[in-house]
C-alpha cells in the first residue's frame, strides 16, 4: 500500500430486516487508523451496507486512491456492474422498477467521483481482520441506535 492510498473496510448489520441497524467502517492510511460507526432504528441491512461506505468516504479530507473492502455483493456489484445502467435508465432497474435505496446510491455516486476507487469483495466472517473489525463497529452502531431509541422513549 502506498502512503497516499486509503484502505477502507465497511460493514452493515441489522437485527431484523427491516429492523434496528448499524454500520461500521475502518479507515487505514499507513500507520493511521480511524473508526466510524452509527445506526438507525428502522432500516435494512442493504441500507446500512451503503451507509458504511458513504460515511467512510465523507470522512476523507481530500481526493484519495481508495481500496474499499466490503462483504456486501450488493454494494460491490452495484458500484461495479449495475450503477451505470441504473443512471442511464433514470434510476430504474432492467424491469423498469425504481432502484431500491436510490437516495443512498445517488449520494454514493457523487462521493466516489471525488476519488479513485477500487472495490474488493471479501467473504464475511472468514477471518479478514479489517472485515471483522468493521463487523464489530456495525454491531456497535446497532447498540448506539438501540440506546438512542431507549433514551428517546424515556424522555416522553
Which residues are catalytic, by number? 11-12, 49, 71, 125, 135
Nearest by Cα to 105 from 66, 65, 67, 78: 78
120, 9 contact by CB (below 8 A): no
Amino acid at each position: 500500500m502506498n502512503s497516499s492510498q486509503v484502505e477502507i473496510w465497511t460493514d452493515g448489520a441489522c437485527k431484523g430486516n427491516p429492523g434496528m441497524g448499524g454500520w461500521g467502517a475502518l479507515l487505514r492510511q499507513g500507520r493511521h487508523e480511524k473508526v466510524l460507526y452509527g445506526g438507525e432504528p428502522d432500516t435494512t441491512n442493504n441500507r446500512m451496507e451503503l451507509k458504511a461506505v458513504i460515511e467512510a468516504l465523507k470522512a476523507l479530507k481530500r481526493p484519495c486512491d481508495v481500496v474499499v473492502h466490503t462483504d456486501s455483493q450488493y454494494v460491490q456489484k452495484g458500484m461495479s456492474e449495475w450503477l451505470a445502467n441504473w443512471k442511464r435508465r433514470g434510476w430504474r432497474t432492467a424491469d423498469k422498477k425504481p432502484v431500491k435505496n436510490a437516495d443512498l446510491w445517488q449520494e454514493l455516486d457523487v462521493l466516489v467521483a471525488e476519488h479513485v476507487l477500487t472495490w474488493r469483495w471479501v467473504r464475511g466472517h472468514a477471518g479478514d481482520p479489517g472485515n471483522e473489525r468493521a463487523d464489530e463497529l456495525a454491531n456497535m452502531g446497532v447498540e448506539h441506535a438501540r440506546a438512542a431509541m431507549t433514551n428517546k422513549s424515556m424522555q416522553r
